[in-house]
């Protein structure tokens, strides 16, 4: 059974940084694009950013562009989300997800999801 396990969330102050990790198991990691989504209380789950299977292309939501960076290490079956200059509006549960072959902003294009990690940014 495929597993995606996020880690690295926590409580930080505005302006701080966090790095989330997502470790995949029982997945042919190198053929999956990886996306990061987030869901704040009472809101829809939204795309944050993602990276192609090769790591050659990344794409971000406008709300995080210039502050967040996706990267991956295919040898470790792990994808990362570096989050800098955090603001209270970034508070949410963050999920990683795997989409075979193609990077997408659409939740329905993802085959596997992690359980999420909470990020809370205080003002």
Task: Return the pLDDT at 31.
Answer: 86
Q: In this predicted model, which residue has the larger pLDDT, 26 or 85?
A: 85
| Ramachandran sector of residue 53 (left: φ over 0; alpha: ψ -120 to 50; beta: rest) | alpha
The pair of three-digit structure tokens given for residue 91, joined into one six-digit string: 């508070």
Query: Would you say residue 107 has pLDDT above 90?
Result: yes
Q: Any idea of the CA torsion for 41, 3, 106, 72, to the nearest 10 degrees?
A: 100
- The string of pLDDT tens digits covering residues 15-67 is 999 999 999 999 888 889 999 999 999 999 999 999 999 888 999 999 999 99
| pLDDT-based confidence at residue 3 (cuts at 50, 70, 90) | very high
d(CA 106, CA 93) in angstroms, rounded, equals 17
Please state, in angstroms and rounded to a whole number, the distance separating the CA atoms of residues 7 and 116.
Answer: 8
- Going by pLDDT thresholds of 50, 70 and 90, the confidence category of residue 101 is confident
Q: What's the confidence (pLDDT) of residue 33? A: 96
Strand order in the sheet with 68-73: 3-7, 18-25, 78-83, 68-73
pLDDT at 29: 87
- The CA-CA-CA angle for residues 93, 81, 15, to 5°, reads 75
Give the pLDDT mean for 93-122: 96
pLDDT band at residue 81 using 50, 70 and 90 as cut-offs: very high
What's the pLDDT score for residue 25?
A: 92
């Amino acid at each position: 059974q495929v597993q995606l396990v996020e880690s690295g969330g926590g409580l930080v102050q505005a302006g701080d940084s966090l790095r989330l990790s997502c470790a995949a198991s029982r997945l042919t990691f190198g053929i999956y694009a990886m996306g990061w989504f987030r869901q704040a209380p009472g809101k829809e789950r939204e795309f944050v950013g993602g990276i192609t299977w090769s790591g050659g292309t990344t794409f971000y939501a406008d709300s995080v562009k210039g502050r967040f960076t996706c990267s991956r290490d295919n040898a470790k079956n792990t994808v990362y989300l570096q989050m800098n200059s955090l603001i209270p509006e970034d508070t949410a549960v963050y999920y990683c997800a795997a989409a075979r072959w193609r990077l997408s902003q659409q939740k329905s294009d993802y085959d596997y999801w992690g359980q999420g990690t909470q990020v809370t940014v205080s003002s």
